[in-house]
Amino acid sequence: MTTSLSLSRRTLFRGAGAALVAGGLGACAPGGSTGNKSLPSSSVTKPPSGEITIWDRTGDLYKVFDKAIASFTAKYPQVKVHHVAVDINAKLPATLISGAGVPDGAFYDDALLTGVAPHLYDLSQLIEQYKSDIAPYKLGVVTVDGKVVAVPWDLDPGLLFYREDVVTQAGVDPAGLTTYDALLGAARTVREKFPKAQPIHLENDQFLAQLWIDMFANQQGGAMVGADGKLTIDSDPYRKALTWLDTVRSEQLGTLAKYTQPTDLQTQDNGTQVFVPWAQWFVFAPQQLLKASKGKWRATALPAWQPGGARAGVMGGSSFVIPAKAKNPELAWRLYEHLVFSKAGYTAVYGPNDVYPGGLNTSIPSYLPALDPNTPLFKPIDAFGGQDLWKVAVEAGKQVPGGYMIPTWWGKAGDYFGVNVQKLLAGQMSPDDVLKTSASQIQKNLMGPS
């Protein structure tokens, strides 16, 4: 007796077709535009209570923030923070797009910030009261289309790291390394003394190379785009930096290696790589990765591109974002306000912890009141022979030129500019070729016709 439990084929397929069409129509309505909802100051006046989920990058920083978050929950016991370690660069963009499992707040690289800006809260009103106390460079980086889309966290000034023992044996005075020409001269001197030396680090990772050269450009007041949004990569700051790197390469004065990869670590340890102009976070390597050269590294300000020029630039940095689809954005703001703008908070972040017993020393705060040279947030570093890096980094941080803009396509440019820099360092392209080709590729593929 099948008739009572039967349907005609036509009915069955019609139903299936309708379901598919409904599904298709559903597909026409992806998540709505966020358009940078503003998180107003009035929404955070209530005493904080509730639960938030916070994403932090896996590894050392997760542990650092885990301890610092405890200082917030001690202050506000009614708040429960679910602190999660995540591969943020891989997961956050997709999560922001899908809208599923969105955290209330997340740590994120400044260089990639503009790419996800439409999915974030506009924090302009909340940041207003702190604006004058934020390093100008950092304020520029977290401002997208006139809106502050992240809580600015750290500043990563570039410094010149060098092997003090090798430099001394070669008869080079570190105090004289005031220009990049002087650094070139010092590299030649070191190689005369130690023929196997290839003293200057040359970065061979396309993403890091781009970040690195942007530090050199930032030092000279340059950036990939100008204030009007026009492409400015084919310009003197970049040309000067690439020409210098090309000289290092052609005279075989450089070690071509990827940051912290085997060649990099081995040559730093065996003393053939001596000079590393890099962000402050290079300090991680002598403390955690290098063995034979531990204690032999020192840091000083970056050389200038011309006598008397700026001796600071920024390489990298991170901030905290509050997604527009966060369930509890007000609480996330309260947490970040505590960590970044309160003495108790930033002292907890940069203070001693299990990973950095002397305090977090891979960056400095971008909040200027925290940058007192006489009130160090982290201790002198044994891996640097007890050098007080705080003073050196704070001095550099305060000199970083402002007015820097990160275009929305910065992360994508690595496929063009980053790759062309790799080719330059392999002797396959000239500085002019790199700049002209990169400008043309970026204009065509990332910016559209001008």
Partner 1 sequence: MATTRRSAQRVRRRRVPVAPYLFVAPFVLVFAGFSAYPIFFALQLSFTNWHGAGALEIIGFANYRYLLTSPDFWQSMATSGVLWLLVVPAQVLVALTIAVALRKAKFRGVFSAALIAPFVTPLVAMAQVWIILFDKDFGAVNQGLSSIGLPAIGWLTTSAGAKVTVALLVLWRTTGYAVILLMAGLSTIPSDVYEAATIDGAGAWHQFWSITVPLVTRTLSFVVVIGTLTVFQLFAEPYVVTGGGPFNATRTAGLYLYKHITNSDLGLGAANSMLLVVMVLALSLASIRLLRSREDS
Q: Which of 14, 17, 19, 292 binds partner 1 (CB under 8 A)?
A: 19
Q: Which of 53, 143, 206, 353 binds partner 1 (CB under 8 A)?
A: 206
Measured from the CB atom, is 9 or 291 closer to partner 1? 9
Question: Cβ(313)–Cβ(158) under 8 Å?
Answer: yes
- The pairing of beta strand 79-86 with beta strand 364-365: unpaired
Distance CA 403, CA 218 (A): 9
Distance CA 173, CA 176 (A): 6
Range 264-293, binding partner 1 (CB under 8 A): 266-267
Q: What are phi and psi of 412, to 5 degrees?
A: -75, -25
Shortest Å distance, C-beta 21 to partner 1: 10
Q: Is residue 426 part of the contact set for partner 1 (CB under 8 A)?
A: yes
Q: Is residue 109 part of the contact set for partner 1 (CB under 8 A)?
A: no
Distance CA 69, CA 63 (A): 10
Distances in Å between the alpha carbon of 50 and those of 253, 338, 340? 57, 16, 21
Measured from the CB atom, is 8 or 42 closer to partner 1? 8
Q: Is residue 24 part of the contact set for partner 1 (CB under 8 A)?
A: yes
Distance CA 380, CA 352 (A): 12
Measured from the CB atom, is 270 or 375 closer to partner 1? 270
Q: Is residue 168 part of the contact set for partner 1 (CB under 8 A)?
A: no
The DSSP string of 399-413 is: H--------TTHHHH
Give the SS3 label for residue 441.
helix
Q: Which of 61, 96, 155, 202 binds partner 1 (CB under 8 A)?
A: 96
Q: Which of 49, 288, 306, 445 binds partner 1 (CB under 8 A)?
A: 445
Q: Is residue 427 part of the contact set for partner 1 (CB under 8 A)?
A: no
- The pairing of beta strand 364-365 with beta strand 154-155: antiparallel
The DSSP string of 140-167 is: HHHEETTEE-SEE-EE-BEEEEEEHHHH
Q: Which of 169, 263, 288, 306 binds partner 1 (CB under 8 A)?
A: 263
Q: Is residue 8 part of the contact set for partner 1 (CB under 8 A)?
A: yes
Shortest Å distance, C-beta 50 to partner 1: 26
Nearest Cα to 320, choosing from 44, 61, 51, 35? 61
Shortest Å distance, C-beta 293 to partner 1: 15
Q: Which of 14, 17, 18, 31 binds partner 1 (CB under 8 A)?
A: 31
Shortest Å distance, C-beta 224 to partner 1: 16
Q: If you count them, how many residues does the chain have?
A: 450
Stretch that binds partner 1, among 73-81, 93-101, 218-226, 308-316 (CB under 8 A): 93-101
Measured from the CB atom, is 95 or 361 closer to partner 1? 95
Q: Which of 40, 93, 185, 295 binds partner 1 (CB under 8 A)?
A: 93
Sheet of strand 151-152, all strands in order from the earlier edge strand to the far edge:
79-86, 50-57, 105-109, 318-321, 151-152
∠ CA 166-167-168, nearest 5°, is: 90
Pattern 327-356, partner 1, x by CB under 8 A: ------------------------------
DSSP-assigned beta bridge partners for residue 144: 147
Measured from the CB atom, is 237 or 414 closer to partner 1? 414
Question: Cβ(304)–Cβ(179) under 8 Å?
Answer: yes
Stretch that binds partner 1, among 141-149, 199-207, 218-226, 364-372 (CB under 8 A): 199-207
Pattern 390-419, partner 1, x by CB under 8 A: ---------------------xx--x---x
Shortest Å distance, C-beta 317 to partner 1: 19
How many chain residues touch partner 1 (CB under 8 A)? Answer: 49
Distance CA 264, CA 256 (A): 8
Residue burial 196-224, b: 16+ Cβ < 10 Å; e: rest: ebbbbbbbbbbebbbbbbbbbbbbbbbbb
Shortest Å distance, C-beta 253 to partner 1: 16
Report how far Cα 319 is from the mean position of its chain's Cα atoms. 8
Shortest Å distance, C-beta 45 to partner 1: 29
Give the SS3 label for residue 386.
coil
Q: Is residue 77 part of the contact set for partner 1 (CB under 8 A)?
A: no
- Which amino acid makes up residue 158? G
Q: Which of 83, 119, 138, 296 binds partner 1 (CB under 8 A)?
A: 119
Measured from the CB atom, is 90 or 175 closer to partner 1? 90
Question: Cβ(292)–Cβ(270) under 8 Å?
Answer: yes
Measured from the CB atom, is 16 or 74 closer to partner 1? 16
| Interface ranges with partner 1 (CB under 8 A) | 2-3, 5-9, 12, 19-20, 23-24, 27-28, 30-35, 89-90, 93-94, 96-97, 115-116, 118-119, 204-207, 256, 261-263, 266-267, 411-412, 415, 419, 422-423, 426, 428, 445
